[in-house]
Structure 1
Amino acid sequence: MECIEFDSFLDEDAIDSPLGVHLESDSLAGTKAVPDRRQYAQFQCSNAPDPPPLPGTSYGARRSSLKAKACSRVREEILDSWDKLFLEGYQADLRVSADDGTDILSHSCVLGVKSPVLRAMLEEAKLKHGFRCIRISGAPSEAVRVFIRFLYSSRFEQEQMNIHVLHLLVLSHVFSVSSLKTVCINQLERNFLAPENVVDVLQLAELCDAPRLCLVCTRMIIKDFKTISLTDGWKVMRRVNPSLEQELLESLVEADTRRQERAKRMEEKKVYRQLYEAMEALIHICRDGCRTIGPRDQALKGNGAAVCKFPACKGIELLVRHFSTCRVRVPGGCANCKRMWQLLELHSRMCFTPDTCKVPLCRHFKEKMQHLGRKEETTWNLLVCKVLESRGTMGFISERRKLSTPKPGGSSHVEARRLVGPV
């Protein structure tokens, strides 16, 4: 069993007056000098301020406001009535024609209120056999029917929505029906997007001014670019819309760059965390000892302490043993010894109690700091900051130093080969 040699290293104002009631002289005109007690009580009650509300009044008002909000919601019976009004066409005064010649009976007042574009069309519509006539082109008649029904009752059949969702998105954009546009975007995000059609949906979303849908499609393309770039939609888009292809490729490069930078930051953070754990293990070995290595003035626990709570303890122990026996210690000679020197110097820069610290050469490196150049000093300071930030604390190591028993005396300039010696 071996150990490390440390012997040579180491006023308020209160307002209590009641509120006075000031009476004007005119109000006392014609009264007696000493009024009757009953009259005075009546007079005082008539001029007294209103009493505060009883407990629970504000709560009752809040409950009434909640009831008003609940009552403001549209009941199912009302929606059924609007749905029935459209389906039966009772007293309809408008004919909406589709591309296939189908006429859809509706009410001009309902369509005009729901869509400003339809209102402008109705103002210019001509009467024919007692009906106003307008035409909605570019969509199948079933899609137009679903669109007009939504204007009445905000209802739709899911099967019809799945079939005509793209046409309904276009209609909602053209006729400025924001509620239907929101529904179509949600339906596309949840039920419709696939690698085969995401490029087409992206182009349609750009035409219909749907930025959220554009973002969702772009993320999907970047995530599965290898598969989507082989689809027919991508090939058509390259031919008819090369600018969009360029934007997607730039987004792909930017996302890949961010991914690489994130991975690099995570790897750097991992290295700094390992350095922090190495500092903790070094302090643990030099102060308390672990397994078969530790301070000379303290008995070791031996193999019974095989389980150590410091994850880097075993590696630091092997490094210290190599450092104590290695004969190649010149700069650039042994890589392990060079690493040990760097760990000792890093510890000295993170240590706040060099006079009582039990880690070898701590005060020696503290004195060496005063003779370093500005560039080297800046590099070390940056490394210390990164290591401390990896655990989000600046005083953890100094607090651990306070737990150790201070031992005075000893020179700080000691040869490295005397770090470890026989028991």
Structure 2
Amino acid sequence: MAHSHDETPMVTTTNAPVPPPLPARTTASRAVVMRRRSCCVSVATWDRLFDDAYRADVSIQTSSHDVIYAHSSILGLASPVFRTMFKRQNRSKRLFIVPILGVPSEAVRVFIRFLYSSCYDENQMEEHVLSLLVLSHSYMVPRLKRECEAQLEHKYMNIDNAIDVFQLALLCDAPRLTIMCHRLILKNLKAACLSDGWKAMKESHPILEKELLETAAVEANRQKEKLKRANERKVYVQLYEAMEALVHICRDGCRTIGPHDKAFDKHQEPCKYEACKGLESLVRHFAGCKLRVPGGCVLCKRMWQLLELHSRICIDSNVCRVPLCRNFKDRAKRLKKKDDIKWRLLVRKILRTKSITGAPYFSLAASF
């Protein structure tokens, strides 16, 4: 002890008591521990315990007057509802009597078997999945409830039973399943309205039917607005591409059209601007039309609008090669406030649609 104190300067007390030795583990105790670790009970054993009802102390009464025997210790361990129920019942009788009504007796049997072995048959799950969802929620068995929700979401839910599943999901507090059913119903509203579940819901829960129809109307309006915004965005993108093509034609030239000082090559590469083809014919028409005053020709009027739109998003008219760019900028200063606001709003939407903050030819600051 003195030697250890000399090597450890932090220890100042030299007469500290010696701690007692750890209790020795005998060979027998080690063998017991090893046997416990390697021991396991197979699923077949739990199924046999349920089927044989050996020393069962619970009698489950079903709607069809069938009796299912079970063990209170297993049911109470798997479900807090059963545990509370057994605590409240009088144990003077030999059996606990538990009524489970409102669902098929076979569904009750599948439910109780799951409490024993945490297993189920696939065919039985498909047949009684709705009843199992209700039972798992009522008796607070979250593992089975999650399994039922997953099976309904990925396998068994369709437009014919979507209304029934939707109502049960609301009652059983299954938010994800509720959302999935709601989406399926709104997506196939006409088919859902013709199902038997919808007719039953209309009689028993008319308020829920009204809410579904109102939600469907809101969703339809949202889809219309979405389509409208998509079409507007498409138009704004086309206008921006036309502005790019106009600058390209007036500055660099394209195919056989361009500035007077441009030498064209017949073997030049294809133009990368898709809008050039249509804009080239429009420029040629505008150059040769005798009625190109605003309002005199529909095509010329469109060209006048493109030129004015370009002038409003052009950064510098002093170096711009597009015709009449400066003239339109000066004209914009003399426009009425109402007309000027319309043009500014159009320019802002075009530039924001393309998410431009500093393009080679245009700037978002030009719209203010």
Shorter-chain TM-score above 0.5: yes
Aligned partners of 1:384, 1:202: CA distance in 2, in Å?
Answer: 47
Comparing 156-165 and 182-191, the one that deviates more: 182-191
State whether structure 2 residue 272 is matched by structure 1 residue 325.
Answer: no
Return the match for 1:271 from 225, 235, 249: 235
Shift of the 362–111 alpha-carbon distance from structure 1 to 2, 3 Å rule, reads same
Return the match for 1:140 from 88, 95, 104: 104
Greater relative contact order (CA < 8 Å, ≥ 6 in sequence): 1
Structure 2 equivalent of residue 59 of structure 1: none
Aligned partners of 1:143, 1:98: CA distance in 2, in Å?
Answer: 10
State whether structure 2 residue 139 is matched by structure 1 residue 175.
Answer: yes
Q: Deviations over 1:117-166 (max 9, x none)?
A: 22222123244763322221222222112112222332211111111111
Tell me the secondary structure at the aligned position of residue 329 of structure 2: helix
State whether structure 2 residue 307 is matched by structure 1 residue 344.
Answer: yes
Identity %: 49
Tell me the secondary structure at the aligned position of residue 397 of structure 1: coil
Aligned partners of 1:45, 1:344: CA distance in 2, in Å?
Answer: 91
Aligned partners of 2:51, 2:203: CA distance in 1, in Å?
Answer: 44
Comparing 237-246 and 268-277, the one that deviates more: 237-246
Whether the 8 Å CA contact 2:294–2:304 is kept in 1: the answer is no
State whether structure 2 residue 362 is matched by structure 1 residue 362.
Answer: no
Structure 2 equivalent of residue 309 of structure 1: 272
State whether structure 2 residue 261 is matched by structure 1 residue 297.
Answer: yes
Structure 2 equivalent of residue 380 of structure 1: 343
Structure 2 equivalent of residue 61 of structure 1: none
Structure 2 residue runs of 5 or longer lacking an equivalent are 12-37, 364-368
Aligned partners of 1:242, 1:104: CA distance in 2, in Å?
Answer: 38
Aligned partners of 2:338, 2:116: CA distance in 1, in Å?
Answer: 74
1:379 aligned partner, one-letter code = K
State the Cα distance separating 1:271 from its structure 2 match: 0.6
Structure 2 equivalent of residue 200 of structure 1: 164
Q: Deviations over 1:321-363 (max 9, x none)?
A: 1111112233322121111111111111221121111111112
Structure 1 residue runs of 5 or longer lacking an equivalent are 1-38, 49-74, 401-423
Whether the 8 Å CA contact 1:290–1:301 is kept in 2: the answer is no
Return the match for 2:72 from 108, 113, 117: 108
Whether the 8 Å CA contact 2:57–2:72 is kept in 1: the answer is yes
State the Cα distance separating 1:79 from its structure 2 match: 6.0
Whether the 8 Å CA contact 1:329–1:338 is kept in 2: the answer is yes
**Where do residues 2-401 of structure 1 align in structure 2 (5 Å cutoff)?**
46-47=9-10, 77-78=40-41, 80=43, 82-127=46-91, 130-302=94-266, 304-305=267-268, 307-398=270-361
Tell me the secondary structure at the aligned position of residue 46 of structure 1: coil
Whether the 8 Å CA contact 1:290–1:305 is kept in 2: the answer is no
Shift of the 328–182 alpha-carbon distance from structure 1 to 2, 3 Å rule, reads same
1:266 aligned partner, one-letter code = A
State the Cα distance separating 1:307 from its structure 2 match: 2.4
State the Cα distance separating 1:306 from its structure 2 match: 7.0
State the Cα distance separating 1:91 from its structure 2 match: 4.1
Comparing 267-276 and 218-227, the one that deviates more: 218-227
Tell me the secondary structure at the aligned position of residue 60 of structure 2: strand
Aligned partners of 1:187, 1:91: CA distance in 2, in Å?
Answer: 34
State the Cα distance separating 1:82 from its structure 2 match: 4.6
With normalisation by structure 1, the TM-score equals 0.72
Q: Root-mean-square deviation (CA), in Å?
A: 2.7
Aligned partners of 1:289, 1:379: CA distance in 2, in Å?
Answer: 31
2:200 aligned partner, one-letter code = V
State the Cα distance separating 1:310 from its structure 2 match: 0.4
Tell me the secondary structure at the aligned position of residue 108 of structure 2: helix
State the Cα distance separating 1:278 from its structure 2 match: 0.4
State the Cα distance separating 1:275 from its structure 2 match: 0.7
Shift of the 239–99 alpha-carbon distance from structure 1 to 2, 3 Å rule, reads closer
Aligned partners of 1:267, 1:231: CA distance in 2, in Å?
Answer: 35
Aligned partners of 1:225, 1:356: CA distance in 2, in Å?
Answer: 59
Aligned partners of 2:186, 2:169: CA distance in 1, in Å?
Answer: 17
Aligned partners of 1:361, 1:76: CA distance in 2, in Å?
Answer: 92
2:151 aligned partner, one-letter code = Q
Whether the 8 Å CA contact 2:59–2:68 is kept in 1: the answer is yes
Aligned partners of 1:363, 1:345: CA distance in 2, in Å?
Answer: 10
Aligned positions, number: 333
Aligned partners of 1:97, 1:161: CA distance in 2, in Å?
Answer: 21
